[in-house]
Chain A
């Protein structure tokens, strides 16, 4: 096990690019992204793992970056909202008005994207299990559910190409 103390430089793979960043052992991935790297798409909603606005993907799995140590992401692949480009879920969020104020949207999109990548055939119960970790105060969730339903077919179709 590698031991870190004080300020050290580590290598992170963020959105398929390698980034060298200074890190303290106690730094959270959210703070590193926002404050060290200026990647402010991930949002700070509670810093307690309760709201999901900070959700990013680590090796394709959604995690709450506000309660994840940056050091736990070393040598793993991190995907943030800045790395989500023209995915079907982004278009269906637009089509179905899956956001209003937009603050929960980056985390919501990454979670939904990972869900459909992992389970393109997800039933309503699976969708609920995944998505209930992300809070939205504006939409009442219905349009988000519709956006996920609408994107499902495209993830199914494109799944083979992606993997």
Chain B
């Protein structure tokens, strides 16, 4: 019974998989073009949908003539808003699957065709004639809040919403978060200096390389099955059920690998319409896929912002008060934007210890394309506004901006804007800031004249982010075993590029002391056979799914010990599972290979006990509360990831052309599980931050129509433009995280606009208050800086 062949695996010879740059599990398939995304499957009998979208931003729909489209051969159905009298929304049910009566943004779906092939569907779309009567277009949050502004959702009072979201009917306010901490008015009265800045930028887009797609069918027994490119299979199921009245158990969401998420696939997207179309044509599978143009404009993107931040400080640079207003441009519908504004509210000061805060963060309807979650979830917009204002304060105080930040950064024991105390798991921001400044050589000078017209300049920022999640955010996991004692792990997570299944395999391998190659993580989530999971978003998947997986591992280990204790004739407590064996801790040579235990132990005479072991694991967020609607008090943030960034740019003052030379990020992430994957997340986020700051926003004409709705003119960062990336981690343990890890997927973008705007401002000699910072903007500001007369 005892087995001595595995003795090298235990004691003294333990290899750790935590902190190891393991290759990606999905790598071999990804470099051979064999990974299957949602659009890579053709189902038998599949039909094809196409959308007609609105060419105007705000209008009444007077009539839709579908006659000519219906008669085209191969068309199975033509549908308009009146065919689908439902309202869908994540928090606030405000959006019809197809516009009904009103269109509220340029690109909104107005009609849909289902046909036998895509070509026919597109041809039919061109045969639909819609008559619109233009309505006044609301082009910014401030315009939307003006007393005489058109009300974009006249029926708001009738919309269903969750209790935490408080729409204000009769206005364009989807939600308002108030933060009242200390006495901001008194702080400003007592201050030696105060500064105020106003900031603005238009909405943008995620530009995931894979456009969104959903393929829906209704089986003969009524089961709704949807294959979709989503970060949130369980969220889609829950919202479909709530908004369309389908019992949850009658919906199956199938989520395979996603070609980039960035928050854009975290909510509910094409799924309700795909289902309604399938139902309307007898349940056949219907493929509803975005064109790139629809993915940019019709499906939701990143919110725009108008903001105002005032800071009050003592002469020594100690910030004592903040007055803040964030107006998020949610576009025509609320989607995630109401919660984005809430997150920016409870994080409103950035990672600084400010005792007196008066802040309002609003999600405001406009006639722009609507907004959803975007990497950073309100924290980028917030951070940009705060970091710019801190630079204004540094300028006014004549103080070094790094020193000013170091004096005010938040630490263990300080209180957040929602009056929550930062606990022992708080990262070391002063250390992050010190290292980030060192990486870009801040002390060697922040502005350098290269020649008559070329300037190099540096900028720094600090940032923080906590996941904006429900108080009951959960994860579950299951572990089972194969005959060779290799392990299967089932979760509800989705692979969106972050490498989650590689990370999970490392956690399980560490627990069992086996090679991660012996850990098989199921890479597809199917809601009725995978494990419940909130959403792959908010940088919480490694943390929470990781916790659930470790709890499943503990459960399996306990069962292994129980089964093995009889044949090994010892108390369960004396046993250890490691290196593919279960053995007596103090007599390691006395044990059994797991192959002889995990599917049941067989005695020499044939008697068997135990049976296949299944480890069950779960996690649910702890101690979270909703925030008070009047004061914002509460505990909305599970864990705060803190960090600092630094950049160096070079600007040609003659024409505003620039290069980003260096981009540094130092983040306190707790224990790094896979350094290569962690670095990849941070570098990718910084690249996105460069694009976000310098070009990625929609251009509108005076009537709210998007002028750059194609990838040809909606530019993202290209190969060769990327700066030198400098990444470092501080590892203050997150003791409730898996092996002390905390979230890091989004955070690398959060401080980028602040740091870049700071560097660019220093380069041109003027404080830049708007995004995007284009060469033209730099050129204009550089000219204005030369003298008041040329400021124009």
Query: Which A positions have Cβ atoms within 8 angstroms of B?
Result: 35, 38, 40-48, 50-51, 53, 80-82, 84-85, 90-91, 93-95, 97, 99-106, 109, 127-128, 131-132, 134-145
Contact A45 B36, beta carbon cutoff 8 Å: no
Contact A101 B32, beta carbon cutoff 8 Å: no
Shortest Cβ distance from residue A93 to the other chain B in the assembled complex, whole angstroms: 5
Report if A100-B36 is in contact (Cβ < 8 Å); known contacts: A47-B291, A48-B711: no
Report if A81-B32 is in contact (Cβ < 8 Å); known contacts: A131-B719, A131-B720: yes
Report if A138-B725 is in contact (Cβ < 8 Å); known contacts: A40-B40, A97-B677, A97-B680: no
Partner of B710, one of A50, A135, A141, A145: A50
Sorted nearest first, the 3 A-B pairs with minimum C-beta distance are A41-B33, A81-B33, A140-B687
Chain B residue with minimal CB distance to A46? B292
Partner of B211, one of A45, A81, A127: A45
Contact A45 B209, beta carbon cutoff 8 Å: yes
Contact B30 A45, beta carbon cutoff 8 Å: no
What residues of B have a CB within 8 angstroms of the CB of A101 in the complex? Answer: 208-210, 257-261, 496-497
**A92 to B67 Cα, complex, angstroms:** 56
Contact A41 B34, beta carbon cutoff 8 Å: yes
Partner of A45, one of B23, B33, B292, B717: B292
Q: Would you call B474 an interface residue if the criterion is a C-beta within 8 Å of the partner chain's C-beta atoms? A: no
Report if A51-B688 is in contact (Cβ < 8 Å); known contacts: A42-B33, A138-B260: no
Partner of B497, one of A45, A90, A102, A106: A102
The interface bits of chain B over 601-629 (1 if a CB of A lies within 8 angstroms of the residue's CB, else 0) are 00000000000000000000000000000
The interface bits of chain B over 29-51 (1 if a CB of A lies within 8 angstroms of the residue's CB, else 0) are 01111111101101000000000
**A104 to B130 Cα, complex, angstroms:** 37
**A43 to B209 Cα, complex, angstroms:** 9
Interface of A is mostly: loop
Q: Would you call B731 an interface residue if the criterion is a C-beta within 8 Å of the partner chain's C-beta atoms? A: no
What residues of B have a CB within 8 angstroms of the CB of A135 in the complex? Answer: 207, 209, 711, 716, 718
Partner of B260, one of A44, A47, A90, A103: A103
Contact B30 A99, beta carbon cutoff 8 Å: yes
Chain A residue with minimal CB distance to B39? A44
Contact B292 A100, beta carbon cutoff 8 Å: no
Contact B33 A103, beta carbon cutoff 8 Å: no
**A41 to B36 Cα, complex, angstroms:** 8
The interface bits of chain B over 246-265 (1 if a CB of A lies within 8 angstroms of the residue's CB, else 0) are 00000000000111111000
**A102 to B498 Cα, complex, angstroms:** 10
Give 11 new A-B contacts, CB below 8 A, not counting A44-B211, A50-B292, A140-B686.
Answer: A40-B36, A43-B259, A45-B711, A85-B32, A99-B30, A101-B210, A103-B208, A103-B259, A135-B718, A136-B209, A137-B209
**A132 to B40 Cα, complex, angstroms:** 26
What residues of B have a CB within 8 angstroms of the CB of A127 in the complex? Answer: 720
Q: Would you call B676 an interface residue if the criterion is a C-beta within 8 Å of the partner chain's C-beta atoms? A: yes
Shortest Cβ distance from residue A48 to the other chain B in the assembled complex, whole angstroms: 6
Contact B30 A102, beta carbon cutoff 8 Å: yes
Interface of B is mostly: loop
What residues of B have a CB within 8 angstroms of the CB of A44 in the complex? Answer: 39, 211
Contact A100 B720, beta carbon cutoff 8 Å: no
Chain B residue with minimal CB distance to A101? B497
**A99 to B209 Cα, complex, angstroms:** 12
Contact A50 B711, beta carbon cutoff 8 Å: yes
What residues of A have a CB within 8 angstroms of the CB of B36 in the complex? Answer: 40
Report if A139-B687 is in contact (Cβ < 8 Å); known contacts: A81-B33, A90-B31: yes
Contact A48 B292, beta carbon cutoff 8 Å: yes
Q: Would you call B499 an interface residue if the criterion is a C-beta within 8 Å of the partner chain's C-beta atoms? A: yes
Partner of B684, one of A43, A93, A132, A139: A139
Q: Which B residues, 359 to 400, have Cβ-Cβ distances below 8 Å to chain A?
A: none
Shortest Cβ distance from residue A7 to the other chain B in the assembled complex, whole angstroms: 12
Contact B209 A104, beta carbon cutoff 8 Å: yes
What residues of B have a CB within 8 angstroms of the CB of A50 in the complex? Answer: 292, 710-712
Contact B719 A134, beta carbon cutoff 8 Å: yes
Shortest Cβ distance from residue A95 to the other chain B in the assembled complex, whole angstroms: 8
Shortest Cβ distance from residue B449 to the other chain A in the assembled complex, whole angstroms: 26
Contact B209 A94, beta carbon cutoff 8 Å: no
**A143 to B499 Cα, complex, angstroms:** 15
Most buried by B among A35, A45, A90: A45
**A90 to B29 Cα, complex, angstroms:** 11
The interface bits of chain B over 11-39 (1 if a CB of A lies within 8 angstroms of the residue's CB, else 0) are 00000000000011011101111111101
What residues of B have a CB within 8 angstroms of the CB of A46 in the complex? Answer: 292, 710-711
Q: Would you call B309 an interface residue if the criterion is a C-beta within 8 Å of the partner chain's C-beta atoms? A: no
Partner of A82, one of B23, B33, B258, B717: B33
Most buried by A among B27, B291, B688: B27
Q: Would you call B515 an interface residue if the criterion is a C-beta within 8 Å of the partner chain's C-beta atoms? A: no
Contact A103 B210, beta carbon cutoff 8 Å: yes
What residues of A have a CB within 8 angstroms of the CB of B207 in the complex? Answer: 135, 137
Shortest Cβ distance from residue A76 to the other chain B in the assembled complex, whole angstroms: 20
**A85 to B28 Cα, complex, angstroms:** 11
Contact A132 B291, beta carbon cutoff 8 Å: no
Contact B710 A128, beta carbon cutoff 8 Å: no
Contact A139 B680, beta carbon cutoff 8 Å: yes
Contact B259 A140, beta carbon cutoff 8 Å: no
Contact A100 B716, beta carbon cutoff 8 Å: no
What residues of A have a CB within 8 angstroms of the CB of B30 in the complex? Answer: 99, 102, 105
Partner of B718, one of A91, A109, A132: A132
Shortest Cβ distance from residue B670 to the other chain A in the assembled complex, whole angstroms: 21
Partner of B688, one of A48, A103, A137: A137
**A52 to B32 Cα, complex, angstroms:** 17
Q: Which B residues, 200 to 226, have Cβ-Cβ distances below 8 Å to chain A?
A: 206-211
Contact A132 B719, beta carbon cutoff 8 Å: yes
**A23 to B24 Cα, complex, angstroms:** 39
**A9 to B209 Cα, complex, angstroms:** 33
What residues of A have a CB within 8 angstroms of the CB of B127 in the complex? Answer: none
**A101 to B720 Cα, complex, angstroms:** 20
9 A-B contacts (beta carbon < 8 Å): A40-B39, A45-B292, A50-B710, A84-B33, A100-B680, A101-B258, A103-B37, A103-B208, A105-B31
Chain B residue with minimal CB distance to A106? B33
**A67 to B320 Cα, complex, angstroms:** 59
**A135 to B33 Cα, complex, angstroms:** 17
Q: Which B residues, 472 to 516, have Cβ-Cβ distances below 8 Å to chain A?
A: 496-499
**A135 to B687 Cα, complex, angstroms:** 12
Q: Would you call B722 an interface residue if the criterion is a C-beta within 8 Å of the partner chain's C-beta atoms? A: yes
Contact A94 B712, beta carbon cutoff 8 Å: no
Chain A residue with minimal CB distance to B40? A40
**A40 to B718 Cα, complex, angstroms:** 25
What residues of A have a CB within 8 angstroms of the CB of B37 in the complex? Answer: 43, 103
Shortest Cβ distance from residue B561 to the other chain A in the assembled complex, whole angstroms: 38
Partner of A48, one of B26, B39, B210, B712: B712
**A48 to B208 Cα, complex, angstroms:** 16
Contact B31 A93, beta carbon cutoff 8 Å: yes
Q: Would you call B88 an interface residue if the criterion is a C-beta within 8 Å of the partner chain's C-beta atoms? A: no
Contact A90 B259, beta carbon cutoff 8 Å: no
Most buried by A among B42, B208, B259: B259
What residues of A have a CB within 8 angstroms of the CB of B261 in the complex? Answer: 101
Chain B residue with minimal CB distance to A39? B33
Shortest Cβ distance from residue B694 to the other chain A in the assembled complex, whole angstroms: 14
